[in-house]
Amino acid sequence: MSVKLNSGTSMPLTGFGVWKVDRATGAETVYNAIKTGYRLFDAAQDYGNCIEIGEGINKAIADGLVKREDLFITSKLWNHYHDPEIVEKSLDRILSDMNLEYLDLFLMHFPLSFKFIPFEKKYPGQFGINGIELDNVPLIDTWKAMERIYKEGKKVKAIGVSNFNGGLLMDLLRQAEITPAVLQIEHHPYLQQKALVNYVKAKGIAITAYSSFGGQSYVELDNPAAKNSPSLLEHELITKIAKKYNKTTAQVLLRWATQREIAVIPKSNNANRLKENLEVLDFDLSEEEFSEIAELERNLRFNDPKDWDGHNICIF
C-alpha cells in the first residue's frame, strides 16, 4: 500500500529506516530487507552509512530481486549543507556514495543550519555531535535550492522537509514555489502532534512518522526521557489491543499510524521483526481504540536538538 504524493509519485506506507544501521553489516541488512519485501528505505547523509546502504540496494538490483523503479529511496540534506551553493553538491555526494542516479525523496533533515565544513575535512559519520557552530542561512534559501534541483527533474523525484513545526512550515509555505511532498516527524502515542498532522494533511503534504515505538531507539543513547518513561512496546493499553487482534504491540503502534495514511519507517536487524514490521496493513483499530490511544499523549519528544552538544539549540 502506498500514499500518493503531491509530486505525482507514490510512497509506500511501510519502509525501513537505516539510522544506526551498522556500516559493517549495512549492505547485507538492506539486501535482506529487500528480500523480505521492503521497498522504501529512509537514509540520510547524517547516518554515515550511505555507501553501504547503496551497496545493498545495488546488489539487490543486480541480482534481479527488484528494479530501481520498484524502490523508493529517501535521503536527507544534513545541517552543515544548508548554504544554497552547497545543497546540490551535497546531493551529488549522496548520489555518488549510494551509487544511485536519483532519489525518490530528498528531505531537509532539520530546520537548522550549521556552519559549512568542507567534505574533505569532515563528513557525516565523522562529526559526532560535538563542535556544532550555528549558521544563519534562511530556510527558504535552502528550500529554493532544493526546488531548483527538483524542477530540473533529474536527481530527485520529490522534495520535502523533516522536523519542522507548524509555524516554520507555515512560513515556508508562504514563500515556497513548490509545496513539500512530505513532512517527516517524530510521531508516536506519547507525541501525537495532532494540530500539526491536521494542518499538514489539509495542505496535501504526506507524513512519515519516525520513532513509532517512542523512546525505544533512544534508550541506548542514554536519553533520560527515554530511560524514564514506560516503554510503549510494553504499555498495558497497547498490549490489550495487540492481544485482541493477535498482533504484537509493535504492529499496533505501526498500524496506529498507517491506518491514518501516515507512513512508518521502523528499523530492525532481527529477521522476525523485519517481517513483523511489514505486516501492519491487514487489520484495523476501532474508533474507540484510537480514542483510548489519544489519551496517551504526553508531549514527550525523544529526538530534540536541544540535547545536542550542550548548545541549547531549541527549535521546538
What whole-number distance in Å separates Cα of residue 154 and Cα of residue 179? 18
Please, are residues 87 and 77 in contact by the beta-carbon 8 Å criterion? yes
Q: 31, 47, 150, 210: which is the annotated catalytic residue? A: 47
45 in contact with ligand NAD (CB under 6 A): no
| Candidate residues 50, 75, 303, 305; the one interacting with ligand NAD per rule CB under 6 A | 303
Closest CB to ligand NAD among residues 85, 220: 220
Contact positions with ligand NAD (CB under 6 A) in 233-272:
233, 248, 250, 265-268
CA distance 23 to 277: 22
What's the closest the beta carbon of residue 17 comes to ligand NAD, in angstroms?
Answer: 2
Distance (Å) of CA 303 to CA 68, 71, 75, 98, 164: 31, 27, 18, 26, 13
Active-site residue, 47 included = yes
d(CA 186, CA 266): 12
Q: Of 9-28, which residues contact ligand NAD (CB under 6 A)?
A: 17-19
Using rule CB under 6 A, residue 79 touches ligand NAD? no
> What's the number of CA atoms in the CB half-sphere (13 Å) around residue 121?
5
Q: Provide DSSP, 90-123.
A: HHHHHHHHHT-S-BSEEEE--S--B----TTT--
* Cβ proximity to ligand NAD, 7 vs 212, nearer residue: 212
Q: Which of 7, 45, 90, 211 binds ligand NAD (CB under 6 A)?
A: 211
Strands 105-108 and 72-77: parallel
Give me the least distance between CB of 263 and ligand NAD, in Å please: 10
Candidate list 113, 162, 193, 258; residue touching ligand NAD; CB under 6 A: 162
Using CB under 6 A, list all residues that contact ligand NAD: 17-19, 42, 109, 162-163, 184, 210-213, 216-217, 233, 248, 250, 265-268, 273, 276-277, 303
